Amino acid sequence: MEDLDNKAYRILAVDDDSTVRDLYEGILKANSVLPGIPNFELTCCAQGDEAVEAVKRSFKEKSPYAVAFLDLNMPPGPDGEWTAEEIHNLDPRITTVVVTGYRSTNASNVEQAARFSDKLLYLQKPFHPREIIQFATALSIKWRAQKQLLTMQADLENLVEKRTAELVRSNRMLKIEIVNRKRMQQELQQSFESLKKAMHSTIQAISRTVEMRDPYTSGHQQRVADLAKAIAEQLKLPESQIECIYMAAAIHDIGKISLPAEILVKPIPLSNIEISLIQAHAQAGYDILKGIEFPWPIADIVLQHHERMDGSGYPQGLAGENIVFEARIICVADVVETMASHRPYRPSMGMDKALEEIGKNRGVLYDPRVVDACLKIFQEKGFELPS
């Protein structure tokens, strides 16, 4: 993945007033920004057609702009509306902020500015330097996150194609594997389109990709995510934390994508070496996710979902409060779903045994609050794992 952290974000400022352009220079130049604010590389233009040419050059130089600040009226050249449309046609990923001196008391000006409201951000002159810094920082980080998500999707697609080819070569049921590969490619294409709309769709795509490699545990991550979400709701956690738990649970086994397919579908108990390889999936999942800027610590949760309260888990042997709470919830959901489901090397142990396991080890292996919430939703509220 491209390292964007050490690069300056490119900002385009367009205004026919040289005083305003000087203000942008003073606010956004690297030696003027506050500590902790990213670096910006600013290009100033006096007219709209000049700005359009700057965007064209950015494509040739493979150095696109993240944000464009546009004045609405820039005589004698094209106005901000024309400029915004041209820039959007050239690069739809640039976020455009209309900066205008129009006041709400002028009805015609309000009507003109309102035409932008469905696709552009709006900032009133005179602006405060902090407003420009906040717009530039937030929109640049958003631009970077979108680029990282697209890169991640491409990397995952390449990795899945490679692993699928290995499965095809090693599996005697060649025709079945070819069908699975075509279905995987179709779902990846659908996931790529939905990635542009929301991070949640990306999480679902990753989960499906992992579980397609192991038909015996297909749907495992989704069932764990549903159960973990129900436990979190029973605990009355904040909505944002519940969403974090659901997303992390939906890809908690993403590290298994690095494992040989033969181990995942082996119909007999695993050897000690194979068990060690399986246990490495938590670290592998962390390594895949750590460079992605989620709004929550998804990578740490995935890393710790096999830790136990008494320190007997893996890969770090963490104990008690040193394990993030979200991982403790996914741990219980993972144990219950795994025991209650069929595996290639054993039949289902049943839901009663699964609930007995977490109850018996309440406060020893599993967080007591999480165990209590899990038992309550099954025994009192009639929760059932989806088939």
The pLDDT of residue 214 is 64
Structure tokens of 134? 């906040």
The answer to whether the beta carbons of residues 209 and 180 sit under 8 Å apart is no
pLDDT in tens, 218-245: 688 889 999 999 999 999 999 999 999 9
Task: For each of the domains in the chain, give its residue range(s) and CATH number, in order of start.
Answer: 9-140 (3.40.50.2300), 217-379 (1.10.3210.10)
pLDDT at 89 over 80: yes
Confidence of residue 213 (pLDDT cuts 50, 70, 90): low
Which range in 139-153, 234-248, 263-277 is most confidently predicted, on average pLDDT?
234-248
Please give the distance of CA 245 from its chain centroid, rounded to a whole number: 13
- Quickly count: other Cβ atoms within 10 Å of residue 183's Cβ: 12
Q: Is 12 left (phi over 0), alpha (psi -120 to 50) or beta?
A: beta
The pLDDT of residue 170 is 66
Q: Own/partner pairs for 182-190, CB < 8 Å, 24+ apart?
A: 183/212, 184/160, 184/209, 184/212, 185/161, 187/212, 188/156, 188/157, 188/160
Structure tokens of 170? 């090693």
d(CA 26, CA 22): 6
**CA end-to-end span of the chain, whole Å?**
37
pLDDT at 58 over 80: yes
Q: Comparing 54-63, 98-107, 203-212, 221-230, which segment has the lowest mean pLDDT?
A: 98-107
Sort 60 into a burial class: Cβ within 10 Å, 0-12 / 13-18 / 19+.
Answer: exposed
Which range in 138-142, 184-188, 246-250, 320-324 is most confidently predicted, on average pLDDT?
320-324
The pLDDT of residue 298 is 93
Starting at the edge strand found earlier in the chain, the sheet holding 40-45 runs: 40-45, 9-14, 67-71, 95-100, 121-124
pLDDT in tens, 12-48: 999 999 999 999 998 887 545 566 678 899 999 999 9
What CA dihedral angle connects 120, 121, 124 and 127, to 10 degrees? -130
Confidence of residue 282 (pLDDT cuts 50, 70, 90): very high
d(CA 190, CA 193): 5
d(CA 335, CA 135): 45
pLDDT in tens, 145-201: 888 887 888 777 778 777 767 765 666 677 777 777 777 677 666 654 554 355 666
pLDDT in tens, 311-358: 999 999 999 999 999 999 999 999 999 999 877 667 778 899 999 999
